[in-house]
Amino acid sequence: MLFPETISKILNVKYPIIQAPMFGVSTPEMTAAAAKAGCLGSLALADLSAEKSIELIQKTKKLTNQPFAANIFVHHIPEMTDELKQQYFKTKKYLENLAQENSIEVHLPDLEALKINSYHKQIDAIIDENCKILSFTFGNLDQKSIQKLKENETILIGTCTSVEEALELEKSGIDIICVQGIEAGGHRGSFVSENIPQIGGFSLLSQVYDSVKVPLIYAGGIYNGKTLKAAKELDAQGFQIGSLLLASRESSLQEFEKERLTNVTEKDIVLTKSFSGRYARGIKNKFIETIENSEYILPYPYQNKLTGEMRRIARNVKNSEFVNLWLGQSVNQFSENSTEEILKKLINDCN
């Protein structure tokens, strides 16, 4: 098929296919491998410190001389009230006991030990490192940051999960919008409200296309040539690929996590706030079943920071019941080939 050229030209890549920035799964090696396939690699920087962001950007630059997107979280940080402090202590104690009951010895961080970063220092680091493409999720950049990035001639890609969010991004001057359907794996990019209507991706894509004039990338459920062509028919000009790459050679998932992907069924995939305090789609396990709909979920990013150490130790002992394994609704035969090979096969399947 003929791929749309609008986004390819803006991003200076051969194909308008974007490797999703899956924090905790994607790596600089995955970013570089996507670039080798003629696609846009994404470097997931999440809410890391400016120093760590610079380190990963420089590592990626050593692996590829092609364009790639830096991706950051631009979430709102809730005020730490007395009530939230009490909830934190209660949740910490409960989770430590739950972990211990399941043979995971862990001391979760005290509130004072949490490192909560805003994105503003990352913006300066991205400009200093001369990254010319920035994608972001969980919110919208403030106008001062947008102006600073525009002055640096940085292309901005925002994420929406509703028409309302798409309109807000367009009004702010964001260059490209990534439309994330409800079937997409990982965290929802919602920011106008936590109660965003759970709209199927293709329905949302059509509605956003009718509502804004900026080019659109579609994310959610693309796993072969047919699903990509379907997104193109609905006027997507770019295509973001995430879950398809989970088991790839460059993925940071461990073997026991990749093995879990091989026997997953549609009934295993759920939306949950249990690990991070934000809705994310992934594989159901004991931790999710225990915590979801309980009183032991803090707002993001506090829940995410609190459970991080537990997840780290659970991975070390290969306990799949206490790690987050994000996955979209399109279950498929997850290839362990390189990201480059997987993306080239996807491109060939479109012909």
Q: Which of 85-94, 108-117, 178-187 has the lowest mean pLDDT?
A: 108-117
* Residue 69: closest CA among 38, 43, 50, 30: 43
Q: How large is the average pLDDT for residues 242-260?
A: 97
The proportion of the chain whose per-residue pLDDT surpasses 70, expressed as a percent, equals: 99
Q: Quick one: DSSP state of residue 298?
A: P
Is residue 196's pLDDT more than 80? no
Is residue 115's pLDDT more than 90? no
Identify the pLDDT of residue 198.
Answer: 82
Q: How large is the average pLDDT for residues 262-286?
A: 96
Q: Quick one: DSSP state of residue 225?
A: H
pLDDT tens-digit series, residues 159-193: 999 999 999 999 999 999 999 999 999 999 999 87
Q: Which of 121-130, 175-184, 194-203 has the lowest mean pLDDT?
A: 194-203
Q: How large is the average pLDDT for residues 298-316?
A: 96
Q: Which value, in Å, is the radius of gyration of the alpha carbons in the chain? A: 19
Q: How large is the average pLDDT for residues 188-204?
A: 86
Q: Which helix (H) or strand (E) holds 227?
A: helix 225-233
Full set of structural domains in the chain with CATH = 1-77+116-249+337-351 (3.20.20.70), 79-115+265-326 (no CATH)
Give the separation between CA 307 and CA 317, rounded to whole angstroms.
Answer: 16
Q: How large is the average pLDDT for residues 198-207?
A: 94
Is residue 18's pLDDT more than 90? yes
Identify the pLDDT of residue 193.
Answer: 75
* Mean model confidence pLDDT for the chain: 96
* Residue 60: closest CA among 38, 37, 39, 35: 35
Identify the pLDDT of residue 183.
Answer: 96
Q: How large is the average pLDDT for residues 87-112?
A: 96
Is residue 78's pLDDT more than 80? yes
Residues 165/137, Cβ–Cβ less than 8 Å: no
Q: How large is the average pLDDT for residues 60-85?
A: 96
pLDDT tens-digit series, residues 315-339: 999 999 999 999 999 998 999 999 9
* Residue 106: closest CA among 320, 321, 307: 307
Q: How large is the average pLDDT for residues 289-304?
A: 96
Residues 303/295, Cβ–Cβ less than 8 Å: no
Distances 57 to 29, 43, 53, 67, 332 between C-alpha atoms, Å? 11, 8, 6, 12, 31
